Structure 1
Amino acid sequence: MEDILRPIYQERASQSDTLGILKIEKKHKIATLTDTFDVILLMVVKEQGNPVFIKHYQYEGKKAALHIVEERQLQEWLLLGSNRKIVEWLYEGKILFDRNEYMEKLRTELQDFPFYGRKIKIGLEFAKLIRRYLDGKDFFENGHYLDAYNHIVHSLHHLGRLAIIEDGFHPELTVWNQVKQIEPEIFKLYEELVKSEESIEKRLELLFLASEFLIYSRSSVGAAHLLEVLENHPQWSIEEISSHPEIVHYGVDLGIFLEYLIEKDFIETVDVETKGQGIYHRCYQVKQKKN
Protein backbone atom coordinates (compact mmCIF):
# COMPACT_ATOMS: atom_id res chain seq x y z
CA MET A 1 0.00 0.00 0.00
CA GLU A 2 2.74 2.41 0.98
CA ASP A 3 4.55 1.82 -2.32
CA ILE A 4 1.42 2.77 -4.26
CA LEU A 5 0.88 5.93 -2.23
CA ARG A 6 4.55 7.01 -2.18
CA PRO A 7 4.40 9.01 -5.45
CA ILE A 8 1.61 11.14 -3.95
CA TYR A 9 3.77 12.50 -1.14
CA GLN A 10 7.38 11.83 -2.19
CA GLU A 11 7.79 14.94 -4.34
CA ARG A 12 6.31 17.16 -1.63
CA ALA A 13 8.57 15.62 1.03
CA SER A 14 11.58 17.03 -0.80
CA GLN A 15 10.22 20.59 -0.62
CA SER A 16 11.74 22.76 2.13
CA ASP A 17 8.29 23.99 3.22
CA THR A 18 7.13 20.48 4.19
CA LEU A 19 7.49 19.84 7.93
CA GLY A 20 6.12 16.31 8.27
CA ILE A 21 3.91 13.62 6.76
CA LEU A 22 1.75 11.04 8.57
CA LYS A 23 -0.20 8.03 7.34
CA ILE A 24 -3.41 7.15 9.20
CA GLU A 25 -5.16 3.89 8.31
CA LYS A 26 -8.85 3.15 8.81
CA LYS A 27 -9.86 1.39 12.00
CA HIS A 28 -12.85 -0.85 11.32
CA LYS A 29 -14.43 -0.07 14.68
CA ILE A 30 -14.13 3.68 14.16
CA ALA A 31 -14.24 4.14 10.39
CA THR A 32 -15.24 7.77 10.77
CA LEU A 33 -11.77 8.53 12.19
CA THR A 34 -10.62 8.62 8.55
CA ASP A 35 -13.98 9.83 7.16
CA THR A 36 -14.45 6.18 5.95
CA PHE A 37 -11.32 6.46 3.74
CA ASP A 38 -8.90 3.54 3.87
CA VAL A 39 -5.92 5.86 4.29
CA ILE A 40 -5.38 9.49 5.21
CA LEU A 41 -2.08 11.18 4.39
CA LEU A 42 -1.61 14.23 6.61
CA MET A 43 1.05 16.68 5.46
CA VAL A 44 1.99 19.74 7.52
CA VAL A 45 3.61 22.66 5.67
CA LYS A 46 4.87 26.04 6.81
CA GLU A 47 2.75 28.11 4.41
CA GLN A 48 0.46 27.66 1.41
CA GLY A 49 -2.25 29.55 -0.46
CA ASN A 50 -5.13 27.97 1.50
CA PRO A 51 -4.94 26.84 5.15
CA VAL A 52 -6.17 23.38 4.09
CA PHE A 53 -5.78 21.64 0.72
CA ILE A 54 -7.39 18.20 0.14
CA LYS A 55 -7.12 15.65 -2.69
CA HIS A 56 -8.91 12.29 -3.03
CA TYR A 57 -7.51 9.18 -4.75
CA GLN A 58 -8.62 5.66 -5.67
CA TYR A 59 -6.42 2.57 -6.01
CA GLU A 60 -7.06 -1.19 -6.03
CA GLY A 61 -10.67 -0.74 -4.95
CA LYS A 62 -9.63 1.47 -2.04
CA LYS A 63 -9.75 5.21 -1.42
CA ALA A 64 -7.20 7.61 0.04
CA ALA A 65 -7.21 11.29 0.97
CA LEU A 66 -4.32 13.73 1.13
CA HIS A 67 -4.73 16.61 3.61
CA ILE A 68 -2.11 19.35 3.28
CA VAL A 69 -2.44 21.64 6.30
CA GLU A 70 -0.67 24.89 7.04
CA GLU A 71 1.17 24.87 10.38
CA ARG A 72 -0.76 27.88 11.65
CA GLN A 73 -4.08 26.13 10.92
CA LEU A 74 -2.91 22.99 12.72
CA GLN A 75 -1.94 25.02 15.81
CA GLU A 76 -5.34 26.75 15.76
CA TRP A 77 -7.16 23.39 15.64
CA LEU A 78 -5.12 22.13 18.58
CA LEU A 79 -5.77 25.30 20.58
CA LEU A 80 -9.50 25.56 19.91
CA GLY A 81 -10.30 21.86 19.74
CA SER A 82 -12.27 22.65 16.57
CA ASN A 83 -11.01 19.57 14.67
CA ARG A 84 -11.31 16.68 17.10
CA LYS A 85 -9.89 14.10 14.72
CA ILE A 86 -6.57 15.88 14.32
CA VAL A 87 -5.30 14.89 17.80
CA GLU A 88 -5.97 11.20 17.11
CA TRP A 89 -4.39 11.50 13.66
CA LEU A 90 -1.25 12.91 15.28
CA TYR A 91 -1.23 10.17 17.94
CA GLU A 92 -2.17 7.23 15.71
CA GLY A 93 -0.43 8.12 12.45
CA LYS A 94 2.73 6.48 11.18
CA ILE A 95 5.43 9.05 10.46
CA LEU A 96 6.52 8.85 6.81
CA PHE A 97 8.60 12.01 6.79
CA ASP A 98 9.78 14.22 9.64
CA ARG A 99 11.89 17.32 9.07
CA ASN A 100 14.04 18.09 12.12
CA GLU A 101 11.80 15.79 14.23
CA TYR A 102 8.87 18.21 13.85
CA MET A 103 6.23 15.48 14.21
CA GLU A 104 7.96 13.79 17.13
CA LYS A 105 8.24 17.11 18.98
CA LEU A 106 4.58 17.84 18.26
CA ARG A 107 3.55 14.48 19.72
CA THR A 108 5.65 15.11 22.83
CA GLU A 109 4.03 18.52 23.24
CA LEU A 110 0.58 16.95 22.95
CA GLN A 111 1.40 14.38 25.60
CA ASP A 112 2.85 17.01 27.95
CA PHE A 113 -0.17 19.30 27.29
CA PRO A 114 1.49 22.57 28.45
CA PHE A 115 -0.41 24.25 31.29
CA TYR A 116 -0.92 27.54 29.43
CA GLY A 117 -2.50 25.86 26.41
CA ARG A 118 -4.65 23.84 28.79
CA LYS A 119 -5.87 27.01 30.54
CA ILE A 120 -7.07 28.55 27.25
CA LYS A 121 -8.82 25.33 26.21
CA ILE A 122 -10.53 25.11 29.61
CA GLY A 123 -11.79 28.69 29.19
CA LEU A 124 -13.15 28.05 25.70
CA GLU A 125 -14.79 24.79 26.77
CA PHE A 126 -16.34 26.40 29.86
CA ALA A 127 -17.76 29.27 27.79
CA LYS A 128 -19.41 26.75 25.44
CA LEU A 129 -20.74 24.88 28.46
CA ILE A 130 -22.32 28.03 29.91
CA ARG A 131 -23.93 28.89 26.55
CA ARG A 132 -25.49 25.44 26.14
CA TYR A 133 -26.55 25.14 29.78
CA LEU A 134 -28.26 28.55 29.97
CA ASP A 135 -29.93 28.10 26.57
CA GLY A 136 -31.18 24.69 27.70
CA LYS A 137 -32.48 26.09 30.97
CA ASP A 138 -34.33 28.85 29.12
CA PHE A 139 -35.99 26.31 26.78
CA PHE A 140 -36.92 24.15 29.78
CA GLU A 141 -38.54 27.03 31.67
CA ASN A 142 -40.59 27.85 28.57
CA GLY A 143 -41.78 24.26 28.13
CA HIS A 144 -39.68 23.41 25.05
CA TYR A 145 -38.44 20.12 26.46
CA LEU A 146 -36.96 18.54 23.33
CA ASP A 147 -34.91 21.67 22.59
CA ALA A 148 -33.86 21.78 26.26
CA TYR A 149 -32.84 18.11 26.05
CA ASN A 150 -30.68 18.78 22.98
CA HIS A 151 -28.85 21.65 24.70
CA ILE A 152 -28.35 19.84 27.99
CA VAL A 153 -26.83 16.82 26.20
CA HIS A 154 -24.34 19.21 24.58
CA SER A 155 -23.66 20.96 27.89
CA LEU A 156 -22.87 17.61 29.55
CA HIS A 157 -20.56 16.84 26.65
CA HIS A 158 -18.71 20.13 27.26
CA LEU A 159 -18.64 19.39 31.00
CA GLY A 160 -17.09 15.99 30.28
CA ARG A 161 -14.50 17.46 27.92
CA LEU A 162 -13.71 20.12 30.53
CA ALA A 163 -13.04 17.45 33.16
CA ILE A 164 -10.72 15.60 30.76
CA ILE A 165 -8.73 18.75 29.93
CA GLU A 166 -8.50 19.66 33.65
CA ASP A 167 -7.00 16.23 34.24
CA GLY A 168 -4.27 16.95 31.68
CA PHE A 169 -5.58 14.95 28.71
CA HIS A 170 -6.86 15.82 25.26
CA PRO A 171 -10.52 14.81 24.69
CA GLU A 172 -10.69 11.93 22.19
CA LEU A 173 -13.45 10.98 19.76
CA THR A 174 -14.74 8.43 22.29
CA VAL A 175 -15.00 11.11 24.95
CA TRP A 176 -17.47 9.28 27.22
CA ASN A 177 -15.05 6.40 27.74
CA GLN A 178 -12.59 8.96 29.07
CA VAL A 179 -15.22 10.68 31.21
CA LYS A 180 -16.27 7.35 32.74
CA GLN A 181 -12.70 6.84 33.99
CA ILE A 182 -11.87 10.42 34.94
CA GLU A 183 -15.18 11.86 36.22
CA PRO A 184 -17.74 9.09 36.89
CA GLU A 185 -20.17 11.59 38.46
CA ILE A 186 -20.60 13.39 35.12
CA PHE A 187 -20.88 10.04 33.31
CA LYS A 188 -23.65 9.01 35.70
CA LEU A 189 -25.57 12.24 35.00
CA TYR A 190 -25.30 11.59 31.27
CA GLU A 191 -26.53 7.99 31.67
CA GLU A 192 -29.47 9.12 33.79
CA LEU A 193 -30.45 11.67 31.17
CA VAL A 194 -30.38 9.29 28.20
CA LYS A 195 -31.41 6.01 29.84
CA SER A 196 -33.93 6.96 32.53
CA GLU A 197 -37.53 5.86 32.08
CA GLU A 198 -38.82 9.04 33.72
CA SER A 199 -40.61 11.60 31.57
CA ILE A 200 -38.31 13.96 29.67
CA GLU A 201 -39.55 16.85 31.84
CA LYS A 202 -38.66 15.01 35.07
CA ARG A 203 -35.27 13.92 33.72
CA LEU A 204 -34.38 17.49 32.80
CA GLU A 205 -35.61 18.88 36.11
CA LEU A 206 -33.42 16.47 38.08
CA LEU A 207 -30.44 17.06 35.83
CA PHE A 208 -30.59 20.85 36.10
CA LEU A 209 -30.61 20.52 39.89
CA ALA A 210 -27.66 18.10 39.89
CA SER A 211 -25.51 19.88 37.31
CA GLU A 212 -25.88 23.39 38.75
CA PHE A 213 -23.34 22.68 41.49
CA LEU A 214 -20.97 20.78 39.17
CA ILE A 215 -20.82 23.78 36.85
CA TYR A 216 -20.55 26.43 39.57
CA SER A 217 -17.78 24.49 41.34
CA ARG A 218 -15.70 24.74 38.14
CA SER A 219 -16.29 28.47 37.62
CA SER A 220 -12.96 29.63 39.06
CA VAL A 221 -11.01 27.19 36.88
CA GLY A 222 -13.19 27.84 33.82
CA ALA A 223 -12.86 31.63 34.12
CA ALA A 224 -9.14 31.67 34.99
CA HIS A 225 -7.88 32.43 31.47
CA LEU A 226 -10.35 35.23 30.75
CA LEU A 227 -9.84 36.83 34.18
CA GLU A 228 -6.06 36.62 33.79
CA VAL A 229 -6.28 38.62 30.55
CA LEU A 230 -8.71 41.18 32.01
CA GLU A 231 -6.50 41.78 35.05
CA ASN A 232 -3.94 43.40 32.74
CA HIS A 233 -6.04 46.61 32.61
CA PRO A 234 -8.28 48.31 35.18
CA GLN A 235 -11.32 48.32 32.88
CA TRP A 236 -12.36 47.23 29.39
CA SER A 237 -14.99 48.07 26.82
CA ILE A 238 -16.65 45.12 25.09
CA GLU A 239 -14.84 46.12 21.87
CA GLU A 240 -11.47 45.91 23.62
CA ILE A 241 -12.30 42.54 25.17
CA SER A 242 -13.70 40.90 22.05
CA SER A 243 -10.81 42.07 19.84
CA HIS A 244 -8.04 40.90 22.19
CA PRO A 245 -5.99 38.25 20.32
CA GLU A 246 -6.44 35.65 23.08
CA ILE A 247 -10.12 36.33 23.70
CA VAL A 248 -11.24 36.55 20.08
CA HIS A 249 -11.48 32.73 20.03
CA TYR A 250 -14.41 32.82 22.48
CA GLY A 251 -16.52 34.12 19.59
CA VAL A 252 -20.30 34.15 20.06
CA ASP A 253 -20.01 32.63 23.55
CA LEU A 254 -18.17 35.65 24.99
CA GLY A 255 -21.23 37.83 25.76
CA ILE A 256 -23.17 35.23 27.72
CA PHE A 257 -19.96 34.11 29.46
CA LEU A 258 -19.32 37.68 30.69
CA GLU A 259 -22.91 37.90 31.98
CA TYR A 260 -22.48 34.62 33.85
CA LEU A 261 -19.26 35.87 35.46
CA ILE A 262 -21.00 39.11 36.49
CA GLU A 263 -23.82 37.10 38.07
CA LYS A 264 -21.30 34.94 39.96
CA ASP A 265 -19.32 37.99 41.19
CA PHE A 266 -16.13 37.40 39.22
CA ILE A 267 -16.56 40.53 37.07
CA GLU A 268 -18.37 43.83 37.66
CA THR A 269 -19.60 46.53 35.32
CA VAL A 270 -18.44 50.15 35.36
CA ASP A 271 -20.48 53.07 34.01
CA VAL A 272 -18.40 55.48 31.92
CA GLU A 273 -19.96 58.79 30.88
CA THR A 274 -20.80 59.48 27.25
CA LYS A 275 -21.74 62.76 25.57
CA GLY A 276 -25.40 61.81 25.90
CA GLN A 277 -27.12 62.73 29.15
CA GLY A 278 -28.15 59.74 31.25
CA ILE A 279 -26.49 57.14 29.02
CA TYR A 280 -23.20 55.44 29.81
CA HIS A 281 -20.69 53.13 28.22
CA ARG A 282 -20.88 49.73 29.94
CA CYS A 283 -17.33 48.67 30.77
CA TYR A 284 -16.01 45.64 32.63
CA GLN A 285 -13.39 44.94 35.27
CA VAL A 286 -12.33 42.01 37.40
CA LYS A 287 -14.06 42.25 40.76
CA GLN A 288 -11.65 42.56 43.66
CA LYS A 289 -12.29 39.94 46.28
CA LYS A 290 -12.76 41.23 49.82
CA ASN A 291 -10.33 39.90 52.42
Structure 2
Amino acid sequence: MEHILRPIYQERASQPDTLGVIIVKKVEDAENITDTFDTVLFIIVREAEVPVFTKHYLHENQKMVMHVVKEETLNKWLFIGSKKRVVDWIFHGKILFDRNEYLVKLRSKLQEHPFFGRKIKTGIQFAKLIRRTLEGKELFNRENYLDAYSNVIESLHHLASLSVIDKGLYPEVTVWSQVKKIEPQIYKLYEELVFSKESLEKKLELLFLAIEFMINSRTHEGAQHILETMLKKDVWTVQELHTNNELKFYSGDLEVFVEYLIDKGFIRVEQVESKNELIQHRLYRVDKELVESKYDL
Protein backbone atom coordinates (compact mmCIF):
# COMPACT_ATOMS: atom_id res chain seq x y z
CA MET A 1 0.00 0.00 0.00
CA GLU A 2 2.95 2.27 0.63
CA HIS A 3 3.82 2.43 -3.06
CA ILE A 4 0.23 3.47 -3.91
CA LEU A 5 0.46 6.38 -1.48
CA ARG A 6 4.00 7.38 -2.48
CA PRO A 7 3.01 10.15 -4.94
CA ILE A 8 0.75 11.68 -2.29
CA TYR A 9 3.27 11.78 0.54
CA GLN A 10 6.15 12.75 -1.75
CA GLU A 11 4.18 15.77 -2.90
CA ARG A 12 3.56 16.71 0.73
CA ALA A 13 7.19 16.06 1.68
CA SER A 14 8.36 18.51 -0.99
CA GLN A 15 6.50 21.35 0.73
CA PRO A 16 8.72 23.40 3.10
CA ASP A 17 6.17 23.39 5.95
CA THR A 18 6.01 19.58 6.13
CA LEU A 19 7.88 18.31 9.19
CA GLY A 20 7.26 14.58 9.02
CA VAL A 21 5.26 11.77 7.42
CA ILE A 22 4.30 8.51 9.13
CA ILE A 23 2.47 5.49 7.72
CA VAL A 24 0.53 3.12 9.95
CA LYS A 25 -0.93 -0.17 8.77
CA LYS A 26 -3.86 -2.02 10.27
CA VAL A 27 -2.98 -4.83 12.64
CA GLU A 28 -5.09 -7.98 12.62
CA ASP A 29 -7.68 -8.02 15.43
CA ALA A 30 -6.86 -4.38 16.21
CA GLU A 31 -8.80 -2.34 13.65
CA ASN A 32 -9.39 0.52 16.05
CA ILE A 33 -5.70 1.40 16.06
CA THR A 34 -6.20 2.77 12.54
CA ASP A 35 -9.84 3.81 13.04
CA THR A 36 -10.91 0.79 10.90
CA PHE A 37 -8.80 1.96 7.91
CA ASP A 38 -6.27 -0.37 6.28
CA THR A 39 -3.64 2.37 6.16
CA VAL A 40 -3.18 5.74 7.86
CA LEU A 41 -0.93 8.43 6.40
CA PHE A 42 -0.15 10.89 9.20
CA ILE A 43 1.50 14.14 8.13
CA ILE A 44 2.71 16.89 10.48
CA VAL A 45 3.11 20.43 9.15
CA ARG A 46 4.41 23.63 10.69
CA GLU A 47 1.57 25.83 9.40
CA ALA A 48 -1.76 25.17 7.66
CA GLU A 49 -5.06 26.92 6.98
CA VAL A 50 -6.94 24.40 9.12
CA PRO A 51 -5.71 22.50 12.22
CA VAL A 52 -6.60 19.09 10.75
CA PHE A 53 -7.15 18.25 7.09
CA THR A 54 -8.40 14.74 6.23
CA LYS A 55 -8.88 12.82 2.98
CA HIS A 56 -10.12 9.29 2.33
CA TYR A 57 -8.84 7.06 -0.48
CA LEU A 58 -9.77 3.67 -1.88
CA HIS A 59 -7.61 1.14 -3.77
CA GLU A 60 -8.90 -2.36 -4.58
CA ASN A 61 -11.21 -2.41 -1.56
CA GLN A 62 -8.44 -1.10 0.69
CA LYS A 63 -9.46 1.95 2.72
CA MET A 64 -6.84 4.62 3.30
CA VAL A 65 -6.94 7.90 5.21
CA MET A 66 -4.60 10.89 5.20
CA HIS A 67 -4.47 13.29 8.16
CA VAL A 68 -2.51 16.52 7.79
CA VAL A 69 -2.09 18.05 11.27
CA LYS A 70 -0.59 21.35 12.37
CA GLU A 71 2.32 21.04 14.79
CA GLU A 72 0.47 23.27 17.28
CA THR A 73 -2.52 20.93 17.22
CA LEU A 74 -0.32 17.86 17.65
CA ASN A 75 1.34 19.44 20.68
CA LYS A 76 -2.08 20.17 22.14
CA TRP A 77 -3.06 16.51 21.73
CA LEU A 78 0.17 15.39 23.37
CA PHE A 79 -0.28 17.83 26.27
CA ILE A 80 -3.91 16.98 26.87
CA GLY A 81 -3.63 13.29 26.05
CA SER A 82 -6.87 13.47 24.08
CA LYS A 83 -5.70 11.47 21.04
CA LYS A 84 -4.30 8.22 22.40
CA ARG A 85 -4.02 6.61 18.97
CA VAL A 86 -1.83 9.44 17.70
CA VAL A 87 0.75 8.68 20.40
CA ASP A 88 0.69 5.05 19.24
CA TRP A 89 1.17 6.16 15.62
CA ILE A 90 4.16 8.31 16.56
CA PHE A 91 5.78 5.50 18.53
CA HIS A 92 5.09 2.59 16.19
CA GLY A 93 4.38 4.02 12.73
CA LYS A 94 6.94 3.83 9.92
CA ILE A 95 8.67 7.14 9.22
CA LEU A 96 8.56 7.98 5.51
CA PHE A 97 9.88 11.53 5.72
CA ASP A 98 11.56 13.37 8.57
CA ARG A 99 12.74 16.95 8.13
CA ASN A 100 15.77 17.66 10.33
CA GLU A 101 14.96 14.53 12.40
CA TYR A 102 11.78 16.16 13.74
CA LEU A 103 10.02 12.80 14.33
CA VAL A 104 13.13 11.07 15.67
CA LYS A 105 13.56 13.86 18.22
CA LEU A 106 9.85 13.79 19.10
CA ARG A 107 9.95 10.04 19.71
CA SER A 108 13.05 10.47 21.82
CA LYS A 109 11.40 13.20 23.89
CA LEU A 110 8.32 11.07 24.51
CA GLN A 111 10.37 7.99 25.39
CA GLU A 112 13.14 9.56 27.44
CA HIS A 113 10.98 12.08 29.24
CA PRO A 114 7.86 10.16 30.29
CA PHE A 115 6.67 13.16 32.31
CA PHE A 116 6.51 15.32 29.15
CA GLY A 117 3.63 17.70 29.75
CA ARG A 118 2.78 15.94 33.00
CA LYS A 119 1.79 19.09 34.92
CA ILE A 120 -0.61 20.36 32.27
CA LYS A 121 -2.07 16.88 31.64
CA THR A 122 -2.65 16.51 35.37
CA GLY A 123 -4.24 19.96 35.62
CA ILE A 124 -6.60 19.38 32.71
CA GLN A 125 -7.74 15.98 33.98
CA PHE A 126 -8.17 17.41 37.48
CA ALA A 127 -10.31 20.28 36.17
CA LYS A 128 -12.49 17.81 34.28
CA LEU A 129 -12.78 15.69 37.42
CA ILE A 130 -14.00 18.69 39.45
CA ARG A 131 -16.62 19.64 36.85
CA ARG A 132 -17.99 16.11 36.46
CA THR A 133 -18.16 15.63 40.22
CA LEU A 134 -19.95 18.94 40.84
CA GLU A 135 -22.45 18.27 38.06
CA GLY A 136 -22.97 14.73 39.30
CA LYS A 137 -23.70 15.90 42.85
CA GLU A 138 -26.22 18.44 41.59
CA LEU A 139 -28.01 15.71 39.65
CA PHE A 140 -27.86 13.38 42.64
CA ASN A 141 -29.37 16.03 44.94
CA ARG A 142 -32.23 16.42 42.43
CA GLU A 143 -32.68 12.62 42.51
CA ASN A 144 -31.67 12.24 38.85
CA TYR A 145 -29.72 9.11 39.73
CA LEU A 146 -29.09 7.72 36.25
CA ASP A 147 -27.66 11.03 35.03
CA ALA A 148 -25.60 11.27 38.22
CA TYR A 149 -24.35 7.73 37.50
CA SER A 150 -23.04 8.85 34.10
CA ASN A 151 -21.13 11.70 35.73
CA VAL A 152 -19.63 9.37 38.34
CA ILE A 153 -18.42 7.04 35.58
CA GLU A 154 -16.68 10.00 33.91
CA SER A 155 -15.28 11.20 37.26
CA LEU A 156 -13.77 7.78 37.89
CA HIS A 157 -12.32 7.77 34.39
CA HIS A 158 -10.59 11.11 35.07
CA LEU A 159 -9.28 9.72 38.38
CA ALA A 160 -7.98 6.71 36.48
CA SER A 161 -6.24 8.92 33.92
CA LEU A 162 -4.68 10.98 36.73
CA SER A 163 -3.21 7.86 38.32
CA VAL A 164 -1.74 6.74 34.98
CA ILE A 165 -0.24 10.19 34.28
CA ASP A 166 1.18 10.26 37.82
CA LYS A 167 3.18 7.13 36.97
CA GLY A 168 4.66 8.85 33.92
CA LEU A 169 2.63 6.76 31.48
CA TYR A 170 0.22 7.65 28.69
CA PRO A 171 -3.42 6.70 29.32
CA GLU A 172 -4.28 3.96 26.85
CA VAL A 173 -7.63 3.19 25.26
CA THR A 174 -7.88 0.34 27.78
CA VAL A 175 -7.19 2.66 30.71
CA TRP A 176 -8.91 0.42 33.27
CA SER A 177 -6.51 -2.42 32.48
CA GLN A 178 -3.69 -0.02 33.33
CA VAL A 179 -5.36 1.23 36.51
CA LYS A 180 -6.09 -2.26 37.81
CA LYS A 181 -2.33 -2.83 37.96
CA ILE A 182 -1.10 0.55 39.18
CA GLU A 183 -3.97 1.97 41.28
CA PRO A 184 -6.18 -0.86 42.58
CA GLN A 185 -7.95 1.52 45.00
CA ILE A 186 -9.50 3.46 42.12
CA TYR A 187 -10.25 0.27 40.21
CA LYS A 188 -12.13 -1.01 43.26
CA LEU A 189 -14.35 2.11 43.24
CA TYR A 190 -15.18 1.37 39.61
CA GLU A 191 -16.08 -2.23 40.47
CA GLU A 192 -18.29 -1.10 43.34
CA LEU A 193 -20.20 1.26 41.06
CA VAL A 194 -20.75 -1.39 38.39
CA PHE A 195 -21.14 -4.61 40.37
CA SER A 196 -22.27 -3.70 43.91
CA LYS A 197 -25.75 -4.94 44.88
CA GLU A 198 -26.48 -1.80 46.87
CA SER A 199 -29.21 0.49 45.58
CA LEU A 200 -28.06 3.02 42.98
CA GLU A 201 -28.75 5.87 45.39
CA LYS A 202 -26.58 4.30 48.10
CA LYS A 203 -23.77 3.47 45.69
CA LEU A 204 -23.67 7.03 44.39
CA GLU A 205 -23.76 8.51 47.88
CA LEU A 206 -20.73 6.46 48.97
CA LEU A 207 -18.83 7.08 45.75
CA PHE A 208 -19.27 10.84 45.90
CA LEU A 209 -17.72 10.77 49.37
CA ALA A 210 -14.80 8.71 48.12
CA ILE A 211 -14.27 10.88 45.02
CA GLU A 212 -14.38 14.11 47.04
CA PHE A 213 -11.77 12.67 49.41
CA MET A 214 -9.53 11.83 46.45
CA ILE A 215 -10.04 15.30 44.94
CA ASN A 216 -8.94 16.92 48.19
CA SER A 217 -5.90 14.65 48.47
CA ARG A 218 -4.86 15.42 44.86
CA THR A 219 -5.44 19.19 44.89
CA HIS A 220 -1.75 19.91 45.48
CA GLU A 221 -0.67 18.17 42.27
CA GLY A 222 -3.81 18.96 40.27
CA ALA A 223 -3.51 22.72 40.80
CA GLN A 224 0.25 23.07 40.31
CA HIS A 225 0.21 23.92 36.61
CA ILE A 226 -2.49 26.59 36.72
CA LEU A 227 -1.06 28.24 39.85
CA GLU A 228 2.51 28.33 38.52
CA THR A 229 1.20 29.80 35.26
CA MET A 230 -0.82 32.45 37.05
CA LEU A 231 2.19 33.45 39.16
CA LYS A 232 3.79 34.84 35.99
CA LYS A 233 1.38 37.77 36.19
CA ASP A 234 0.02 39.68 39.18
CA VAL A 235 -3.65 39.97 38.26
CA TRP A 236 -5.73 38.21 35.61
CA THR A 237 -9.04 38.85 33.93
CA VAL A 238 -11.01 35.76 32.99
CA GLN A 239 -10.41 36.53 29.30
CA GLU A 240 -6.66 36.61 29.88
CA LEU A 241 -6.88 33.21 31.52
CA HIS A 242 -8.83 31.77 28.59
CA THR A 243 -6.38 33.10 25.98
CA ASN A 244 -3.15 32.13 27.75
CA ASN A 245 -1.13 29.75 25.55
CA GLU A 246 -1.38 26.87 28.05
CA LEU A 247 -4.46 27.67 30.13
CA LYS A 248 -6.61 27.78 26.98
CA PHE A 249 -6.27 23.97 26.86
CA TYR A 250 -8.51 23.78 29.95
CA SER A 251 -11.33 25.05 27.73
CA GLY A 252 -14.79 25.06 29.34
CA ASP A 253 -13.52 23.58 32.62
CA LEU A 254 -11.25 26.54 33.41
CA GLU A 255 -13.73 28.76 35.24
CA VAL A 256 -15.04 25.92 37.41
CA PHE A 257 -11.44 25.10 38.31
CA VAL A 258 -10.71 28.72 39.24
CA GLU A 259 -13.79 28.86 41.50
CA TYR A 260 -12.66 25.63 43.19
CA LEU A 261 -9.23 27.13 43.87
CA ILE A 262 -10.88 30.29 45.23
CA ASP A 263 -12.78 28.11 47.70
CA LYS A 264 -9.51 26.43 48.69
CA GLY A 265 -7.79 29.79 49.23
CA PHE A 266 -5.19 29.44 46.47
CA ILE A 267 -6.71 32.24 44.36
CA ARG A 268 -8.07 35.56 45.64
CA VAL A 269 -10.76 37.65 44.00
CA GLU A 270 -10.06 41.35 43.53
CA GLN A 271 -12.75 43.90 42.77
CA VAL A 272 -11.91 46.81 40.48
CA GLU A 273 -14.20 49.71 39.65
CA SER A 274 -15.90 49.71 36.27
CA LYS A 275 -17.61 52.46 34.30
CA ASN A 276 -20.87 51.38 35.90
CA GLU A 277 -20.86 52.44 39.55
CA LEU A 278 -23.21 49.58 40.47
CA ILE A 279 -20.88 46.75 39.45
CA GLN A 280 -17.16 45.96 39.70
CA HIS A 281 -14.77 44.00 37.53
CA ARG A 282 -13.84 40.62 39.04
CA LEU A 283 -10.10 39.89 38.74
CA TYR A 284 -8.00 36.98 39.98
CA ARG A 285 -4.71 36.86 41.86
CA VAL A 286 -2.81 33.85 43.20
CA ASP A 287 -2.10 33.93 46.93
CA LYS A 288 1.65 33.99 46.35
CA GLU A 289 2.74 33.30 49.93
CA LEU A 290 0.43 30.30 50.27
CA VAL A 291 1.40 28.82 46.90
CA GLU A 292 5.14 29.35 47.39
CA SER A 293 4.98 27.67 50.80
CA LYS A 294 2.98 24.73 49.41
CA TYR A 295 5.15 24.15 46.35
CA ASP A 296 8.57 25.26 47.65
CA LEU A 297 8.89 27.77 44.79
TM-score, normalised relative to structure 2: 0.89
CA RMSD of aligned residues (A): 2.2
Aligned residues: 291
Change in Cα spacing, 1:61 to 1:202, as seen in structure 2 (3 Å) is same
* DSSP 3-state at the match of 1:289: helix
**Structure 1: tracts of 5 or more residues without a match:** none
C-alpha distance in 2 between matches for 1:264 and 1:199? 33
In structure 2, the partner of 1:62 is 62
Letter in 2 for 1:77: W
Provide closer, same or farther for how the CA distance between residues 29 and 133 of structure 1 changes in structure 2, counting only shifts above 3 A. Answer: farther
Match for residue 11 of structure 1? 11
**Does the Cα contact within 8 Å between 1:19 and 1:46 map onto a contact in 2?**
yes
Say which SS state the counterpart of residue 58 (structure 2) adopts: strand
Say which is worse superposed, 92-101 or 144-153, in terms of deviation.
92-101
* Structure-to-structure mapping, 1:67-86, within 5 angstroms: 67-86=67-86
Identical amino acids, percent of aligned pairs:
53
> For the Cα contact (< 8 Å) 1:132–1:155, is it kept in 2?
yes
Cα deviation, residue 135, structure 1: 0.6
> Residue 140 of structure 1 corresponds to which residue in structure 2?
140
* CA distance in 1: counterparts of 2:271 and 2:100, whole angstroms: 54
TM-score (structure 1 length as normaliser): 0.91
Report the secondary structure of 1:233's partner residue.
coil
Query: For residue 118 of structure 2, what is the aligned residue in structure 1?
Result: 118
Distance 1:154 1:29, change over 3 A: farther
Residue 249 (1) aligns with residue 249 (2): yes
Which shows bigger deviation, 66-75 or 266-275? 266-275
Q: Tell me if structure 2 keeps the 8 A contact 1:269–1:284.
A: yes
In structure 2, relative to structure 1, the CA distance for the partners of 1:145 and 1:29 (3 Å cut) is farther
Report if the CA contact (8 A) 2:109-2:116 is conserved: no
Describe the superposition over 1:49-77 as per-residue Cα deviations: whole angstroms up to 9, x where unpaired: 32222221122322111112222221222
Q: Deviations over 1:90-122 (max 9, x none)?
A: 122122222222211111112234756211121
- Cα distance 1:242–1:97, how it changes in 2: closer, same or farther (>3 A)? closer
Amino acid at match of 1:39: T
Letter in 1 for 2:134: L
Pairwise CA distance, 1:29: 3.4
Structure 2 partner of 1:152: 152
Q: Gaps spanning 5+ residues in structure 2: where?
A: none
Assess if the C-alpha contact under 8 Å between 2:76 and 2:249 holds in 1: no
Report the 3-state secondary structure (helix = DSSP H, G, I; strand = E; otherwise coil) of the residue aligned with 1:172: coil
Q: Distance in 2 between matches of 1:246 and 1:43?
A: 24
Instruction: Say if 1:234 and 1:17 are closer, same or farther in 2 by CA, change over 3 A.
Output: closer
Matched, 1:269 2:281: no
1:254 is displaced (CA, Å) by: 1.2
Counterpart of 2:223, as a letter, is: A
- The 8 Å contact of residues 23 and 95 in structure 2, kept in 1 or not, is answered as yes
**150 and 193 in structure 1: CA distance in 2 versus 1, 3 angstrom threshold:** same
Contact persistence 1:137–1:208 (CA under 8 A): yes
